[in-house]
């Protein structure tokens, strides 16, 4: 049986006894929030609010799954192409891998709608957990590009979502247990099942294409980790703007060094392979060519 944290349980119970106090649109993007990449939700919201202010309302919200073309189709269907993003807290406790990941990655670039590599705006800082144990590492992540006018670090009574009324946008199937973020349709009320409420703590709108695939990850180790933690402690928009730019510059330098090292390694490997193949063709022992 799924148990809620006490704060979520009490909020859910209070909402269940009331009529929805804010409009839930027929089509929206729903994402559930929680601890991610070793950072508790309240700290994530605080830095995302600074990011939103520096960006004039624009901020990026990292997610772990692809939404495909659903954001674009939803924008086409809704009037004025406005699609709401509704943010709700997770109902269950965070997984240990999210609380203490083996590695934290910073994502520098994204793939735009034309398939071109594009830099994320300098004020946007998107991180995710990584896994240094995996040889190839994590090569892609995703993000919602959002536009909001209200402070997202302060929880507001912004309506409630009845999970039993939510369906996937295209297939109309119920959401799976592992679907943390999805573009959905909100069906008319039904009493077929007990109501399961999620309180909406803040809202935003999808901006532009609304959704991007992130690439170019850099591990936040050593000096980069120090710069990142300093950035997260920013108290003003000026501190955030300056710190985010500095972190990006140092991360790009680290990536350039890594690429150069990989190229040198690859070139040495290619040369050794050519020597070995030539030696074999000439009947020379491969041990003699090492």
* Per-residue pLDDT in tens (0 to 9) along the chain, 290 residues: 333 333 434 443 443 434 344 789 999 999 999 999 999 999 999 999 999 999 999 999 999 999 999 999 999 998 777 999 999 999 888 889 999 998 999 999 999 767 889 999 999 999 999 877 664 556 779 999 999 999 999 888 888 999 999 999 999 999 988 899 999 999 877 555 657 889 999 999 999 989 999 999 999 999 999 999 999 999 999 999 999 999 999 999 999 988 877 666 555 544 554 444 344 445 544 333 33
**215 and 278 inside one domain:** no
In terms of residue numbers, what domain contains 165? 6-219
Q: How many CB atoms are closer than 10 A to CB 105?
A: 23
Residue 26 lies in a domain: yes
Residue 156 lies in a domain: yes
**115 and 165 inside one domain:** yes
> What's the whole-model pTM score?
0.81
Residue 180 lies in a domain: yes
Residue 231 lies in a domain: no
Question: Which of 48, 58, 104 is closest to 240 using CA atoms?
Answer: 48
Residue 134 lies in a domain: yes
**146 and 247 inside one domain:** no
**167 and 258 inside one domain:** no
**54 and 126 inside one domain:** yes
Q: How many CB atoms are closer than 10 A to CB 235?
A: 9
Number of structural domains the chain divides into? 2
Which residue among 186, 219, 252 closes a domain? 219
**245 and 139 inside one domain:** no
Residue 109 lies in a domain: yes
Residue 218 Ramachandran class (φ > 0 left, ψ -120 to 50 alpha, else beta): beta
Residue 233 lies in a domain: no
**266 and 198 inside one domain:** no
Is 78 in contact with 183 (CB distance < 8 Å)?
no
């Amino acid at each position: 049986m799924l148990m809620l944290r006490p704060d979520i349980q009490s909020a859910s119970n209070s909402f269940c006894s009331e009529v929805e106090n804010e409009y839930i649109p027929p089509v929206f993007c729903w994402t559930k929030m929680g601890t991610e990449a070793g950072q508790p939700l309240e700290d994530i919201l605080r830095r995302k609010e600074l990011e939103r202010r520096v960006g004039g309302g624009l901020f990026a919200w990292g997610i772990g799954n692809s939404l495909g073309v659903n954001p674009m189709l939803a924008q086409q269907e809704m009037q004025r192409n406005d699609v709401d993003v509704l943010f709700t807290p997770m109902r269950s406790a965070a997984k240990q891998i999210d609380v203490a990941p083996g590695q934290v990655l910073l994502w520098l670039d994204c793939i735009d709608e034309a398939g071109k590599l594009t830099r994320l705006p300098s004020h946007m800082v998107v991180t995710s957990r990584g896994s240094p144990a995996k040889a190839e590492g994590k090569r892609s992540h995703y993000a919602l590009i959002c536009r909001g006018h209200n402070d997202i670090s302060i929880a507001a009574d912004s309506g409630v979502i009845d999970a039993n009324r939510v369906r996937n946008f295209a297939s109309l199937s119920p959401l799976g247990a592992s679907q943390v973020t999805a573009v959905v349709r909100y069906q008319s009320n039904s009493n077929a099942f007990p109501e399961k409420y999620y309180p909406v703590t803040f809202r935003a709108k999808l901006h532009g294409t609304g959704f991007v695939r992130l690439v170019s990850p850099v591990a936040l180790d050593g000096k980069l980790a120090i710069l990142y933690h300093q950035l997260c402690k920013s108290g003003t928009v000026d501190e955030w703007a300056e710190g985010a730019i500095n972190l990006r510059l140092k991360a790009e330098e680290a990536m350039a060094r890594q690429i150069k090292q990989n190229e040198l390694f690859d070139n040495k490997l290619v040369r050794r392979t050519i020597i070995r193949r030539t030696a074999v063709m000439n009947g020379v022992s491969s041990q003699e060519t090492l």
